[in-house]
Each structure stands twice: as C-alpha cells, then as structure tokens.
C-alpha cells in the first residue's frame, strides 16, 4: 500500500488516474486546494474537504507519504497568459512542492503542467525545476504527451514530470495507443437550447474570425461536429464565450459543449458529480487533466514501484540468509 498526497488538487483528476492505476494499493492521506468551488466538487466526489492555501500549511503537519501528486498552477507558463513564469506568484508555487518533498522524501513525485512550461524562458524555468528536484535526490523524467493519443477526442498537449528517489529505476512514459475515437463519442444525444449561442455572439465570432484571417493569423472560433477526430484544447476560459470548441447544429447556430460533455472530453466518467454552476464547471474541467493520460502514466509508475519493491524484498532476504550463514560459520570457527 502506498500513501499519497494530492497538492493543487483541483477537482481530483490526477487522483482519479492514480486510483484507477494502483487500484487498492494507494491510499490518499492529504489533499490541498485553495479554490472554494473546486473544493466543493472535490468533496462531492471524494467525501473529504481539501485543506486550503498550501503556503500556510507546515510540511511537518502533512502525514507521511510515498507519492506526491501536484498539478501546480499553469497560468504563469501558459501561451494563453503573459508567460511570466517564476516572476508570477503562481509560478513560485513549485517551491511549495519542493519544500514538502525536501522534508518527507517520498518515493515518487509526479508533476503536470502546460506544454509551454518546458520551453519557457528558453528552457531555464524547466531547468530550475529539474535541478531543484535532482538536488533533493531525485532521478527526473519528463515528456510531453497529447490527450488525443490516449483515447480522447481532444488536442491537448501537457508536460508530465515523473521523479523517483530510487535511481536504479529507468522509467519510460507510456506509448501512444490508437483509439478510433471522434467528437461524437462525447456528445449527449439531447442538449438544452440554452447551450446554443445567440445570434449576437455568433455574429461576433464570425466577424472576429474574418478580421483575424485578414491579418494572416488563425485565431477565432473553432467549429466541430460529431465526425471530427478531435476538438481544440478545452481551457478554463471556456465559460466566457465557448469560442475554442463550438458544435455545429443543423439549421441552428452552433452550441457550446455542456459541462457533462466537458467532463467526458477530459475522460471523467458519468458518475463524476458536478455540483457547481456551468461557469465554474467549465473553469474546473478546463483547469483539470485528461484522466486516461494520467492513468497510463500511473500504471507505468506502479509497475516500476511494485517491481522494485519485489526486487528489494528478494535482496533483503538474500542479505539476511548470508548474514545468518556467516553467523553459523563464525560459531563453527569458534568451536
């Protein structure tokens, strides 16, 4: 059994992926999330209220654990933001993870962030993170993976960082697997008319796209239908106008995806409870992770942990046998 903690937990997407991969061999002993609406969703699904601001929690008060999960805030590194990185207070929250890791020395540290994080400041931001983790004694592995390669109809690239305290582990990220999926797989058969965008909003979307096209860039609304292979990336700002993912409708204006469809687009199953408003739901799923990607990585982590534990146990038994044999030989010599 491995004890785990869930930092910057959001609505628990990373936790779900690890629970699915480790099955009954993982136990969550602590979680932390500052957003009150995300905490409400987390509580509804995991029956526990995450602690609040991690900067105000002493690392000594966090229970001992083997695995740290942390999808630390990505806005500071996102191409959609100002890309300030560690100059942004949100960017410095990685060092809260480092503070906790330094004290507890867990077996595994798992981090997730936007793809832009790896290139930010000509790679220096990632270098600081990697060097910090290595200075704490960890072997660091990192790779960018796309959700559309793991059975979801969404083009969503994220960087995943996996760190092991045991340096003999040679981790490999899961290989993409082909799934014949399409956008229609996540769409509901019946949708309330309130998700159909108004004439005014649709006219505005079309006008702005035309203006962007005249300037030679590709910005503007994105239209999909049930036969599309995948959507663009669902973002936390989706609640504003839905422009990045609009679903075509016959003889109607396009519509936004519903919160349940947003959940499905991220790989949350239909048992996942959505107790908040549509606006908050869009923010939460846009800020969350693609569960199937997390599950695939977590399965590889579990495989290495279980294999190492088994090998370590054999070595321990061998060491004990050798020690006992030496003791017997010494006794014979003394006689």
Parse the chain into domains and list their residue ranges: 2-177+290-317, 183-287
**331 or 246, greater pLDDT:** 246
Rounded to the nearest integer, the mean pLDDT of the chain is 89
Q: Please determine, for residue 114, whether its predicted confidence score (pLDDT) is greater than 70.
A: yes
Report residue 178 as tokens. 């082909």
Question: H helices of 158-252, where?
Answer: 199-214, 238-241
CATH of domain 183-287: 3.90.120.10
Report residue 267 as tokens. 């790989």
Kindly indicate whether the domain formed by 2-177+290-317 is annotated with CATH number 3.40.1350.10: no
Count of H-run helices and E-run strands, the chain? 10, 9
Phi and psi at residue 42, to the nearest 5°: -60, -45
Identify the weakest region by mean pLDDT among 116-120, 143-147, 295-299, 310-314: 310-314
Strands 157-164 and 108-114: antiparallel
Q: Please determine, for residue 320, whether its predicted confidence score (pLDDT) is greater than 70.
A: no
Of 14-23, 78-87, 176-185, where does the model show the most confidence? 14-23
- In whole angstroms, give the CA distance from residue 281 to residue 28: 24
Report residue 331 as tokens. 């006794």
CA dihedral sign of residues 67, 69, 72, 77: positive
DSSP 8-class letter at 10: T
pLDDT digits (tens, 9 = 90+) for 70-103: 998 754 444 444 444 345 444 478 889 999 999 9
Active-site residue numbers? Answer: 74
pLDDT digits (tens, 9 = 90+) for 125-174: 898 899 999 999 999 999 999 999 999 999 999 999 999 999 999 999 99
Report residue 186 as tokens. 């996540």
What residues form DSSP beta bridges with 164? 108, 139
């Amino acid at each position: 059994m491995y004890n785990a903690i869930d930092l910057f937990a959001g609505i628990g997407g990373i936790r779900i992926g690890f629970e699915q991969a480790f099955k009954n061999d993982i136990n969550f002993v602590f979680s932390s999330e500052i957003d009150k609406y995300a905490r409400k969703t987390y509580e509804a699904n995991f029956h526990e209220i995450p602690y609040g601001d991690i900067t105000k929690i002493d690392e000594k008060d966090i229970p001992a654990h083997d695995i740290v999960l942390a999808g630390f805030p990505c806005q500071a590194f996102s191409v959609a933001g100002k890309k300030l990185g560690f100059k942004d207070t949100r960017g410095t929250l990685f060092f809260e993870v480092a503070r906790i890791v330094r004290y507890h020395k867990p077996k595994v540290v798992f981090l997730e962030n936007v793809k832009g994080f790896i290139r930010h400041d000509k790679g220096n931001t990632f270098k600081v993170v990697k060097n910090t983790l290595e200075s704490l004694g960890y072997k660091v592995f990192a790779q960018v993976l796309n959700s559309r390669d793991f059975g979801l109809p969404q083009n969503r690239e994220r960087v995943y960082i996996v760190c092991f305290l045991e340096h003999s582990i040679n981790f490999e990220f899961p290989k993409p697997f082909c799934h014949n999926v399409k956008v229609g797989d996540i769409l509901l058969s019946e949708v309330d008319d309130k998700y159909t965008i108004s004439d005014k909003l649709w006219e505005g979307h079309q006008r702005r796209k035309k203006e962007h096209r005249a300037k030679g860039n590709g910005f503007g609304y994105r239209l999909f239908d049930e036969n599309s292979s995948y959507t663009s990336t669902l973002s936390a700002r989706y609640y504003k106008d839905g422009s990045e993912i609009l679903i075509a409708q016959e003889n109607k204006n396009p519509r936004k995806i519903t919160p349940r469809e947003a959940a499905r687009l991220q790989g949350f199953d239909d048992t996942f409870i959505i107790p908040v408003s549509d606006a908050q739901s869009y923010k939460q799923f846009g800020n969350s992770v693609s569960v199937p990607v997390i599950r695939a990585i977590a399965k590889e982590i579990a495989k290495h942990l279980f294999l190492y534990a088994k090998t370590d146990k054999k070595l321990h038994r061998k060491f004990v046998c050798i020690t006992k044999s030496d003791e017997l030989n010494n006794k014979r010599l003394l006689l």
